[in-house]
Structure formats: C-alpha cells, structure tokens
C-alpha cells in the first residue's frame, strides 16, 4: 500500500528520501494558491526561483514577474502573491517568473522527487486524484514560514490525507497530526486559523479576502507540475 508522509518544514526535508515518490509542495498562504489560480486562468509556464535577483535575471521581453517578501509585493515586479491578481485574461499563454518568501524555495528543495506538484486547498481534489493514479508514495512538503511550522500548510496535508483515505497509509506521526488538525478545522478553517501567526500577519496587511479565498476546497481543476525548472499544468504535459 502506498504511503502519505508529511514534512512539516523545509528544515526537515533532508531527512526524507524523495526518490521514487511524488512531492506535493504546499504554501497555502499564498504561493501555491496563486500558482493554481494562475494556471486556471491560462498561464502557460511558471518558473519558480529562490531570489529576487534570479527573478530579474531570467526576465525576458514578454515574461511576467512576481515577487513577494514578508507578505508584500516587492517593488519593481509586475505581480505579488495575491491569487486575485491572477484572475485576468492578461496572463493567458504567458510565462511568469515567481519568487516568494517560502513557497518557491520549497519547490526548489523538492526536485529529488520523481514528480513535483504544487497543491493548495483550491485544487486538493485534483491533486488527490493524480496521486492516486500514480500509486506512488507521496510526501507533502509544507513550505512553512521561514523554516518554521505553520498551521495552514499542515491543514492542507491533513486534507490531502483525508482525500486519499484508507488506500494510503500514514507514514509517520506528522501525517497523523495533520489529519487530526484538519478534522478539527475543516468545518470553519478561517476561524480555526484566526489565531495563527500567518493569518495575523496577513490581517495586518489587509488581505483577509485572500485568506478566505485560499481556504476554499476544489475551486480549480488544474495541477501545476514541475517539468525541468518550470511548472506547467498537468494537462499540457499529458498532451505534449
């Protein structure tokens, strides 16, 4: 039986052997939620990079750039980290170079996996379907906050474990904890998370609307997947 393992922070990722497995990288607030939203609105490629400098260095004439640091859009870039900014036909067919405080770095750290997906509540059902179809072990890589544990990414891991159900065995205690927490939170995640550090941080930045949006399940049916050094939508791999 395949297993589902959860890595609660990138700081622990070196303890995990990702080879032969599917890595699902999650940064609910807001990197992977924004990526899912962007693919749902027709973006063609997202190049995740770790630094602002790389983001600028890789820019080409018709590329879009997105950069977030400490919850705010960095100056000199086209876009920030709000999913609402990706809900536009202007991004259709475009390539986006993106760097965020936690999420893009977690993607770069996960390349040892056979397949690297990005997950969010917005596409959790489709991620579960894809993982089930592969039959491989899965490791959820929580982006966390600057190396620390966070609640919202852990809740996503619990949600994915619940969707995978009894066909996937919890590989460790982190999976069990994530499932317990998700079951507690699922009926009202916004209230459950209201005391959490990142939601407090985002409240201070007046982006509660983003949080509420990112906590919705199954809004989109796209699954961003890493192909070399950029993300594409899973369907575009299937047909290419």
Nearest residue to 126 (alpha-carbon basis) of 228, 5, 40: 40
CB of 37 or CB of 196, closer to a copy of itself: 196
- Whose structure tokens read 């750039």? 65
- Which residue from 50, 87, 132, 149 is in contact with a copy of itself, where contact means CB under 8 A? 149
By CB under 8 A, residue 180 contacts a copy of itself:
yes
The angle that helices 151-164 and 197-204 make with each other, rounded to 10 degrees, is 120
- Which residue from 65, 100, 154, 233 is in contact with a copy of itself, where contact means CB under 8 A? 154
A 10 A CB-CB count for 84 gives: 14
Stretch that binds a copy of itself, among 95-103, 165-173, 211-219, 224-232 (CB under 8 A): 165-173
- Which residue from 54, 129, 170, 216 is in contact with a copy of itself, where contact means CB under 8 A? 170
Alpha-carbon span 135 to 138, nearest angstrom:
9
By CB under 8 A, residue 147 contacts a copy of itself:
yes
Torsion angle in degrees (nearest 10) through CA of 143, 146, 148, 154: -20
- Which residue from 148, 188, 229, 237 is in contact with a copy of itself, where contact means CB under 8 A? 148
Question: Contacts with a copy of itself in 10-29 (CB under 8 A)?
Answer: 11-12, 15
What is the DSSP code (8-state) at residue 230? Answer: E
Minimum CB separation of residue 147 from a copy of itself in Å reads 5
- Which residue from 72, 146, 203, 209 is in contact with a copy of itself, where contact means CB under 8 A? 146
By CB under 8 A, residue 99 contacts a copy of itself:
no
Beginning with the edge strand found earlier in the chain, give each strand of the sheet holding 64-69 in spatial order.
Answer: 72-73, 64-69, 95-99, 45-48, 230-233, 224-227, 115-119, 22-26, 138-142, 3-7, 169-170
**To 5 degrees, how large is the angle CA 46–CA 57–CA 40?**
15
- Which residue from 17, 173, 188, 218 is in contact with a copy of itself, where contact means CB under 8 A? 173
- Which residue from 176, 186, 216, 236 is in contact with a copy of itself, where contact means CB under 8 A? 176
Tokens of 137: 């072990």
CB half-sphere exposure, 182, CA atoms < 13 A: 20
By CB under 8 A, residue 123 contacts a copy of itself:
no
Residues of the shown chain interacting with a copy of itself in the complex, contacts defined by CB under 8 A: 8-9, 11-12, 15, 145-151, 154, 170, 172-174, 176-177, 180-181, 184, 195-198
């Amino acid at each position: 039986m395949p297993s589902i393992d959860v890595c609660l922070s990138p700081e622990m990722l070196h303890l995990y052997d990702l080879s032969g497995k599917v890595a699902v990288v999650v940064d609910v607030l807001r990197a992977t939620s924004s990526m899912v939203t962007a693919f749902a609105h027709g973006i063609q490629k997202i190049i995740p990079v770790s630094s602002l400098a790389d983001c600028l260095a890789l820019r080409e004439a018709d590329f879009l750039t997105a950069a977030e640091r400490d919850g705010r859009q960095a100056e000199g870039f086209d876009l920030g980290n709000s999913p609402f900014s990706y809900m536009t036909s202007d991004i259709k067919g475009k390539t986006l170079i993106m760097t965020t405080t936690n999420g893009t770095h977690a993607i770069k750290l996960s390349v040892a996996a056979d397949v690297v997906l990005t997950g969010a509540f917005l596409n959790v059902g489709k991620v579960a379907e894809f993982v089930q179809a592969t039959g491989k072990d899965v490791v959820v890589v929580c982006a966390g906050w600057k190396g620390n544990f966070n609640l919202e990414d852990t809740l996503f891991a619990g949600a994915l474990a619940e969707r995978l159900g009894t066909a996937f065995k919890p590989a460790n205690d982190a999976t069990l904890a994530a499932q317990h927490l998700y079951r507690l939170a699922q009926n009202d995640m916004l209230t459950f998370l209201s005391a959490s550090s990142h939601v407090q941080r985002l409240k201070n930045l007046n982006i509660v609307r983003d949080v509420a949006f990112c906590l919705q399940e199954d809004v989109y049916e796209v699954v961003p997947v890493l192909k070399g050094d950029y993300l594409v939508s899973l369907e575009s791999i299937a047909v290419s």
